[in-house]
Amino acid sequence: MPDDLLHHVIGPTPYSPLWLWTAIGLIAVLCAWYAAVFVLTSRRRPVRELPVLGAARAELLRRRSARAVRAIGNRYRAGDLTAAGAGAALSGELRTFLHAATGVQAQYMQVDAIADSAAARAAPILAELTDIQFNHRSALDAATASATAEELIRGWT
């Protein structure tokens, strides 16, 4: 074999540095995943007490609950719900929000017990919603109660 053809033969091509950086990035993502799972599942501190995650969770919770309350109010104004049905739906959504925001088991508590808890600011609105739900001669308006509940949820800290 002549020596002039050997300059066309080369050794194996090296690996691209892209594969190395991809592997390092995937390992970093895996470590972050394990750290997040450990932090979020430890029962020593609830998620709402963590600085960044707690604030983001609270904001998303407020937005979702306010949107749900507004939708209930719109359904009442459109005539899809009766006053009693709107009062029940608003009360349920507000109690679910209070449980998620404060940890108080508001779904199972009476209004007087809520007034003595960390969710005391919501007790007057819940009393109005109870009156709308169970008193057919109530002078209170479910649309106004919906707006008040939405305002409470948006301003909750």
Residue 8: inside a domain: no
Assigned domain for 3 exists:
no
Same domain as 66, residue 31: no
Phi/psi of residue 10, nearest 5 degrees = -125, 170
| CA distances from residue 30 to 23, 24, 27, 34, 38 in whole angstroms, order as listed | 11, 10, 5, 6, 12
Cβ pair 118, 105 in contact under 8 A: no
Q: Please report, as a single letter, which amino acid is at residue 105.
A: Q
What does the CA dihedral 148, 93, 84, 73 come to, rounded to 10 degrees?
50
Asked if residue 101 and residue 36 are part of one domain, the reply reads no
Side-chain-side CA neighbours of residue 36 (13 Å): 8
Whole-number Å distance between alpha carbons of 94 and 88: 10
End-to-end CA distance of the chain: 84
53 and 29 both lie in a single domain: no
- Look at residue 27 in the predicted model and tell me its pLDDT: 98
Higher pLDDT, 13 or 96: 96
Dihedral sign computed on CA atoms, order 64, 65, 69, 70: negative
Structure tokens at 49: 């007490």
Residue 117 phi, psi dihedral angles, 5° rounding: -115, -170
> Considering its fold, how many domains does the chain have in total?
2
Do 59 and 112 belong to one domain? yes
Range of the domain at 20: 14-44
Q: For the segment 24-41, what is each residue's pLDDT rounded down to a tens digit?
A: 999 999 999 999 888 777
What is the maximum span of the chain, computed from C-alpha positions, in angstroms?
A: 109
- Say yes or no: 125 and 77 in one domain: yes
Asked whether residue 95 is assigned to any structural domain, the reply reads: yes
Does position 119 have pLDDT exceeding 70, yes or no? yes
pLDDT digits (tens, 9 = 90+) for 134-151: 998 989 999 999 999 999
User: Residues 38, 110: one domain?
Assistant: no
The closest alpha carbon to 126, from 139, 103, 154, 107, belongs to 107
- The verdict on residue 119 lying in a domain is yes
